[in-house]
Amino acid sequence: MATVTFDHATRVYPGTERPAVDQLNLHIEDGEFLVLVGPSGCGKSTSLRMLAGLEDVNGGRILIGDRDVTDVQPKDRDIAMVFQNYALYPHMSVADNMGFALKIAGTPKAEIRQRVEEAAKILDLTEYLDRKPKALSGGQRQRVAMGRAIVRQPQVFLMDEPLSNLDAKLRVQTRTQIASLQRRLGVTTVYVTHDQTEALTMGDRIAVLKSGLLQQVGTPREMYDTPANVFVAGFIGSPAMNIGTFEVKDGAALVGSAQIPLERSIVGALTEADGGKVTVGFRPESLDVVPAGTPGSLQVETNLVEELGSDAFLYGSLKGDAAGELSAGDSDQVIVRIHPRDVPMKGEVINVAIKPGQTHVFSAATGARLS
């Protein structure tokens, strides 16, 4: 096991001017499960491939432990990679697939068998060792691909969206298996995904990337409670945070008829570029349904309700003064968490109030967190 360090690591693809990964500084502790997350094209898979040695590093360096591996061949880096595609040999049995890398390395047959059986026991694959991949389900094939990585006993596991090919139920089941397996083995793991739910549920820490730039690193709770900027606030959390830009008057942000008091330090941090405005965000669970006419409440017309059994989320449009000023994620709707046993009908108008102290305030000009 070992630490992993990206030291100003940069990758620029030939024929492009903008780096795919730009000056990445990131330290991953020994035995840590770190998730790289971000939208498509943000540089997360490129970062992983740079660590694996599959992409050149055009600037900076990468270290595994105290060893600079920037120019070391992939086979000499002591890493094991699990891909989105299982990449199993169809003519080989499960046991032969799992032990193939050891066979190529010249490991004695008895040791190969021992390691394969140990990994199969951990992954609940013992009864499938003599089967061919075509006789396995998607989840079982993914576990075989993981077993192939485990038997090598590497210093670092690299996983590139390994659950993308699985159906929804199996994806939930397998992600818990991967997380518990990593904690059991204690191997440093870098896991790439575009699914922020996976990131929140699996990682010890999360690193969010956008356009090749690192936006924030922290625990799942830190990312959810104190996003560093508007992008992270809108990206982390499902359903998405409600975000809008509002005028500041007399030390408060004016959200329609509601006034959100701002700390003096926030008002003092506003610059000329902000134009007397701030960007305010609040999560769906930070809204309370209140009686009509409640001072400072907002009117929301119901467009759709997602009923999830134990939870329900209302998607609606703001009415009155605040109409068109708020949005959640990429939509122009407001999302409210409501009681699953008291669900309004489509077109019904409800009144909501923002819970005190549950807003996130960002600079209107830069998007950086102010609160």
pLDDT, position 96: 94
User: Taking phi first (over 0 means left), then psi (-120 to 50 degrees means alpha), and beta for anything else, what does residue 211 get?
Assistant: left
- pLDDT, position 260: 87
- Predicted confidence (pLDDT) per residue in 259-292, tens digit: 888 999 999 999 999 999 999 999 999 999 999 8
β-strand partners of 304: 315
Give residue 327's pLDDT: 63
Domain coordinates in residue numbering, the chain:
4-233, 239-363
Cα 24 to Cα 42: distance, rounded to the nearest angstrom:
12
Gap between the Cα atoms of 50 and 219, Å rounded: 24
Q: What pLDDT does residue 167 have?
A: 83
Give, for all 371 residues of the chain, the pLDDT tens digit. Answer: 799 999 999 999 999 989 999 999 999 999 999 999 999 999 999 999 999 999 999 999 999 999 999 999 998 999 999 988 888 999 999 999 999 989 998 999 999 999 999 999 888 899 999 999 999 988 889 889 989 999 988 999 999 998 888 888 888 888 888 898 899 889 999 999 999 889 999 999 999 999 999 999 999 999 999 999 999 999 999 899 999 999 999 999 988 778 888 999 999 999 999 999 999 999 999 999 999 888 888 899 999 999 998 999 999 998 866 555 666 665 568 999 999 998 999 999 999 999 988 999 999 999 999 97
Residues comprising the chain, all counted? 371
Residue 324: the pLDDT is 52
Q: What is the pLDDT of residue 236?
A: 94
Residue 342 to residue 358: CA distance in whole angstroms: 23
pLDDT at 87: 85
Question: CA-CA distance, 242 to 229, in Å (whole number)?
Answer: 14
CATH superfamily assigned to domain 4-233: P-loop containing nucleotide triphosphate hydrolases (3.40.50.300)
Q: Which pLDDT score, from 0 to 100, does residue 122 have?
A: 86
pLDDT of residue 255: 83
Predicted pLDDT at 142? 87
CA dist., res. 226 & res. 229, Å (int):
9
The owner of tokens 């009681």 is 339
CATH code assigned to 239-363: 2.40.50.140
pLDDT of residue 326: 66
Res 336: pLDDT: 95
* pLDDT computed for residue 318 by the predictor: 85
Could you give the C-alpha distances from 296 to 255, 261, 293, 313, in angstroms and in order? Answer: 9, 12, 9, 22
